Amino acid sequence: GILQHPDGTVLKQLQPPPRGPRELEFYRKVYDSDCRDSVLLELREYLPKYFGVWSPPTAPNDTYLKLEDVTRKFNKPCIMDVKIGQKSYDPYASAEKIQQQVSKYPLMEEIGFLVLGMRVYHVSSDSYETQNQHYGRSLTKETVKDGISKFFHNGYCLRKDAIAASIQKIEKILGWFEGQKQLNFYASSLLFVYEGSCQATTVRLGDVSLAEKRGVPKGLLAGGDILEYNNNIHVINSTENGKIEASVGKGLSKFYALHKKAYSKRHHSQLSLKVEGLEQDNVWKSSTCITQEHLNGNVIPQLEKVFCHMPHEIKESASVEVRMIDFAHVFPSNTKDEGYIYGLKNLITVLQNILDN
């Protein structure tokens, strides 16, 4: 499973040999401070940042990769893990391993990707809907489009802004793959994250903002200050001097590695949160989401305006991350990674069809 370090990074325990050492070597090669290879330097843009290895004082022989928490900046992160490529087994896999992998999803070669899981925030119910790997394996050529679109639907409408931003980021990764012949990737994934909260980014709503429409929403403190908190934490209660007692949430890191079977229990720790002022100039900025009592009356058309009819410049700046993860099966090569390229192109086509239709 994935653990959270108190400094905000995540810890991925090294897998048994040869997978774990191979993934560690991959990160060390890409993030080598002496690296001058333009291909690898560009690749860093599409990975979680790597901060070396870490071992707990109580178990010095246990090694963890210390990685950037890609979901950390989001308030209500919607997360999807998609395995990319026509083959989920590497060139050195045994016949038994190949048969096992193919039987899990026979359509992998034709579709080129597999949804390993997703977690979608629904504004209407202020809750998450979760799908596991069995959901992805149930998708066929005919249903994969609807299966993927489910990730971008917030309960009210389709988040076309997030789809468009995701396509742009995948296209950049595709450009990297089409320009390199050094590495081939097997059983590697793309991690998609977008902001599910309607208040998580600064959004201009014209003459009437949601805050003005409904008064002071939950999350605003006395004096116009806004309680801003990260998706990693769950607010428990207010204390003096504007500080907040908080505990690490249990739902986040699990979905950083949706396809892993074993999840680790995370210990609660208390944090202090900073209270920041409310921006003016007819802009409503808050990282708390509208609660159920505000989702009625004429606030619904405003929500639709935010999610479905945002101006072009807002859509382009949608808060979306697409990162490559899981590198236990990366091998040197002298040819393009055609299987991965096929998967990326097919995924872009599916997303574009969702957007167009």
Q: In this structure, are 113 and 130 located in the same domain?
A: yes
Residue 297 to residues 196, 216, 292, 300: CA-CA distances in angstroms? 21, 16, 12, 7
Are residues 42 and 84 located together in one domain of the fold? no
- 287 domain residue, yes or no: no
Residue 23 lies in a domain: yes
Domain limit, last residue, from 51, 69, 87 = 69
Placement of tokens 């003096």 in the chain: 240
| Final residue of a structural domain among 54, 69, 84 | 69
Q: Which amino acid is at 227?
A: L
Q: Are residues 63 and 74 in the same domain?
A: no
> In 10 A of CB 99, how many CB atoms?
12
- For residue 233, is pLDDT > 60? no
For residue 306, tell me if it sits in a domain. Answer: no
The yes-or-no verdict on residue 152 having pLDDT over 70 is yes
62 and 79 share one domain: no
101 — pLDDT class (breaks 50, 70, 90): very high
Stretch among 143-152, 234-243, 295-304, 307-316 having the lowest mean pLDDT: 234-243
CATH number, position 170: 3.30.470.160
Q: At what angle do helices 338-356 and 160-178 cross, to 10 degrees?
A: 160
What are the backbone dihedrals phi and psi of residue 48, each rounded to the nearest 5 degrees, phi first? -65, 145
In the chain, which ranges are E strands?
2-4, 10-13, 50-54, 64-67, 77-84, 113-122, 127-131, 183-185, 188-195, 203-204, 226-227, 233-238, 244-248, 270-271, 275-276, 283-284, 320-325, 330-332
202, two tokens: 């600064």
194 and 53 part of one domain: no
- Same domain for 50 and 84, yes or no, is no
Question: What range defines the domain where residue 81 resides?
Answer: 70-198+318-356
Which of 11, 37, 69 terminates a domain? The answer is 69
Q: Which residues contact 269 (CB under 8 A, 6 or more apart)?
A: 6, 247, 248
Same domain, 324 and 192: yes
Contacts of 283 (CB under 8 A, 6+ apart): 202, 203, 204, 209
CB within 8 Å of 332: residues ≥ 6 apart: 182, 183, 184
* Cβ 289 vs Cβ 123: under 8 Å: yes
For residues 18 and 49, state if they share a domain. yes
| Least confident interval from 56-65, 141-150, 195-204, 310-319 | 310-319
Split into its structural domains, the chain has a count of: 2
The three-class DSSP label of residue 192 is strand
Residues 41 and 76 reside in one and the same domain: no
Residue 317: HSE in the Cβ half-sphere, 13 Å Cα cutoff: 10
Question: Is the residue at 113 inside a domain?
Answer: yes
Assigned domain for 193 exists:
yes
In the block, which residue shows the tokens 């596991």?
132
2 & 148 share domain: no
Structure tokens at 144: 């994969």
- What mean pLDDT comes out for the span 5-26? 96
User: For every residue of 215-237, which 3-state class applies, written as one string?
Assistant: CCCCCECHHHCEECCCCCEEEEE
Question: Would you say 77 and 192 are in contact if contact means Cβ atoms under 8 Å apart?
Answer: no
The residue type of 75 is N
pTM: 0.72
The span from the CA of 295 to the CA of 276, in Å, is 25
Q: Does residue 269 come out as left (phi exceeding 0), alpha (psi in the -120 to 50 range) or beta?
A: beta
Q: Would residue 115 count as lying in a domain?
A: yes
Dihedral sign of CA atoms 293, 296, 301, 307 in order: positive
Residue 136 domain-assigned (yes or no): yes
Same domain, 52 and 163: no
Specify the range with the lowest mean pLDDT, choosing from 26-40, 191-205, 283-297, 304-318.
283-297
Q: Does position 138 have pLDDT exceeding 70, yes or no?
A: yes
Q: Is residue 267 part of a domain?
A: no
Backbone angles phi, psi at 59, to 5 degrees: -145, 75
Q: Are residues 18 and 78 in the same domain?
A: no
Residue pLDDT, tens place only, 312-352: 444 444 699 999 999 999 999 999 999 999 999 999 999 99
Residue 310: CB atoms within 10 Å: 19
Of 342, 259, 334, 327, residue with least CA distance to 87: 342
What confidence score (pLDDT) does residue 45 get? Answer: 98
